[in-house]
Structure 1
Amino acid sequence: MTAVPSPTRLGRGVHVGYALGSVGTAAFGTVPGLLLLFYLTDVLGVAAGIAGLVVFAPKAWDVLLNPWIGSRSDRTASRWGPRRPWMLAGGLALPPLFVLVFAGPGAPPGAAAAWVAVTFLLAATAYGCFQVPYVAQPAEITDDPGERATLMSWRVAVLALGILVAGAGAPAVVDAFGGGRGGHLAMAVFVALLLALGMLGAVAGTRAAPTLSRVRSEGRLSATVAVAWRARPFRVLLTGFVVQALGIGVMLAGVPYYSRQVLGDPAAGSLLFGALVGPAILVMPLWLRVSRRLGKRSGLLLASALFVVGATGLAVGDAGGTGLVLALVVLVGIGYAGMQMFPLAMLPDVIAADEAASGQRRAGVFTGVWTAAETLGLAVGPGLLGGLLALAGYVSTTGDDVVAQPGTAVTAVRLGFSVVPALLVLASLPVLARYRLDPQETP
Structure 2
Amino acid sequence: MDRLVSTRLSPIEKFGYAMGDFSTGLFNRFITFYLLYYLVELKGVGAGAAGTMLLVTRIFDAVTDPAMGMVADRTRSRWGRYRPYLLYGAIPFGVVSFFVFAMPDMGGLATLVWIYVFYSLAMLLYTVTNVPYCALLGVISPHSRERESAASWRFALLSLADVVIALGVTTIIRVVGSDNEAHGIIIAWSMIVVMMSLSLLFCFATTRERIAPPQHKSAIRQELRTLLRERSWWIAIGAAICVIATIVMMASSAVFYFRYLTVDDGQAVFLFVDRLGLFFLVGVSSIFGSLLAPKLFRQMDKGRLVAATFLVMAGLRLLYLLVPPDNYLFILLLNFLFNFTFGVTIVAIFAIFPDIARFIHWRSGIQMTGLVISASLFALKAGAALGGAVPAFILGASGFVAGAEQTEEGLWGIMLAFSVVPGCVALLGACFGGLYRISRRDLAEVEIGLTESSPQPV
User: Would you say same fold, with TM above 0.5?
Assistant: yes
Shift in Å, 1:167 = 5.2
Give the counterpart of 2:319 among 301, 313, 321.
313
Greater Cα offset, 24-33 or 292-301: 292-301
SS in structure 1 at match of 2:404: coil
Shift in Å, 1:157 = 0.9
SS in structure 2 at match of 1:294: coil
- Check 1:43–1:343 CA distance in 2 against 1; reply closer, same or farther (3 A cut): same
- Check 1:225–1:164 CA distance in 2 against 1; reply closer, same or farther (3 A cut): farther
| Equivalent in the alignment of 1:101 | 100
Matches within 5 A, 1:99-138: 99-138=98-137
- Check 1:55–1:187 CA distance in 2 against 1; reply closer, same or farther (3 A cut): farther
Give the counterpart of 2:340 among 319, 334, 340.
334
| Equivalent in the alignment of 2:437 | 436
- Check 1:364–1:209 CA distance in 2 against 1; reply closer, same or farther (3 A cut): closer
Q: How large is the RMSD of aligned CA atoms in angstroms?
A: 1.8
Contact 2:139 2:209 survives alignment (8 Å): no
Paired with 1:168 and 1:372, the residues of 2 have a C-alpha distance of: 31
| Equivalent in the alignment of 1:356 | 362
Paired with 1:411 and 1:90, the residues of 2 have a C-alpha distance of: 42
Matches within 5 A, 1:172-321: 172-178=171-177, 179-206=180-207, 208-220=208-220, 223-265=222-264, 266=266, 267-276=274-283, 278-321=284-327
Greater Cα offset, 380-389 or 88-97: 88-97
Shift in Å, 1:28 = 1.5
- The residue type equivalent to 2:414 in the other structure is V
Paired with 1:12 and 1:22, the residues of 2 have a C-alpha distance of: 16
Instruction: Give ranges in structure 1 of 5+ residues lacking alignment.
Output: 397-401
| Equivalent in the alignment of 1:365 | 371
Shift in Å, 1:255 = 1.1
Shift in Å, 1:349 = 1.0
| Equivalent in the alignment of 2:67 | 68
Paired with 1:93 and 1:229, the residues of 2 have a C-alpha distance of: 33
Q: Deviations over 1:388-436 (max 9, x none)?
A: 000001113xxxxx32122211111112111111110111111211111
Instruction: Give ranges in structure 2 of 5+ residues lacking alignment.
Output: 267-273, 451-458
- Check 1:416–1:98 CA distance in 2 against 1; reply closer, same or farther (3 A cut): same
Q: Deviations over 1:84-124 (max 9, x none)?
A: 11222331211111111111122311111211111000000
Q: Deviations over 1:270-298 (max 9, x none)?
A: 1221122x112234333322121223223
Paired with 2:167 and 2:384, the residues of 1 have a C-alpha distance of: 19
Contact 2:289 2:342 survives alignment (8 Å): no
Contact 2:166 2:278 survives alignment (8 Å): no
Runs of 4+ in 1 over 6 A off after TM superposition: none
- The residue type equivalent to 2:281 in the other structure is G
Shift in Å, 1:334 = 1.1
Contact 1:176 1:183 survives alignment (8 Å): yes
| TM-score (normalizing by structure 2) | 0.90
Contact 1:259 1:269 survives alignment (8 Å): yes
Paired with 2:43 and 2:181, the residues of 1 have a C-alpha distance of: 9
Contact 1:8 1:142 survives alignment (8 Å): yes
Shift in Å, 1:168 = 5.0
Q: Deviations over 1:25-58 (max 9, x none)?
A: 1012211111100100000010000011122222
| Equivalent in the alignment of 2:162 | 163
- The residue type equivalent to 1:193 in the other structure is V
Contact 2:64 2:127 survives alignment (8 Å): yes
Contact 2:80 2:209 survives alignment (8 Å): no
- Check 1:319–1:285 CA distance in 2 against 1; reply closer, same or farther (3 A cut): closer
Contact 2:40 2:50 survives alignment (8 Å): yes
Contact 2:242 2:425 survives alignment (8 Å): yes
Shift in Å, 1:8 = 4.0
Greater Cα offset, 116-125 or 23-32: 23-32
Paired with 1:9 and 1:98, the residues of 2 have a C-alpha distance of: 35
Alignment of 1:384 with 2:385, yes or no, is no
SS in structure 2 at match of 1:137: helix
Total equivalences in the alignment: 431
- The residue type equivalent to 1:275 in the other structure is V
Q: Deviations over 1:239-275 (max 9, x none)?
A: 1111221122211111101111111315422122112
| Equivalent in the alignment of 1:414 | 415
Contact 1:71 1:364 survives alignment (8 Å): yes
| Equivalent in the alignment of 1:399 | none
SS in structure 1 at match of 2:298: helix
Contact 1:33 1:379 survives alignment (8 Å): no
- Check 1:359–1:163 CA distance in 2 against 1; reply closer, same or farther (3 A cut): farther
- Check 1:307–1:73 CA distance in 2 against 1; reply closer, same or farther (3 A cut): same
| Equivalent in the alignment of 2:269 | none
- The residue type equivalent to 1:107 in the other structure is M
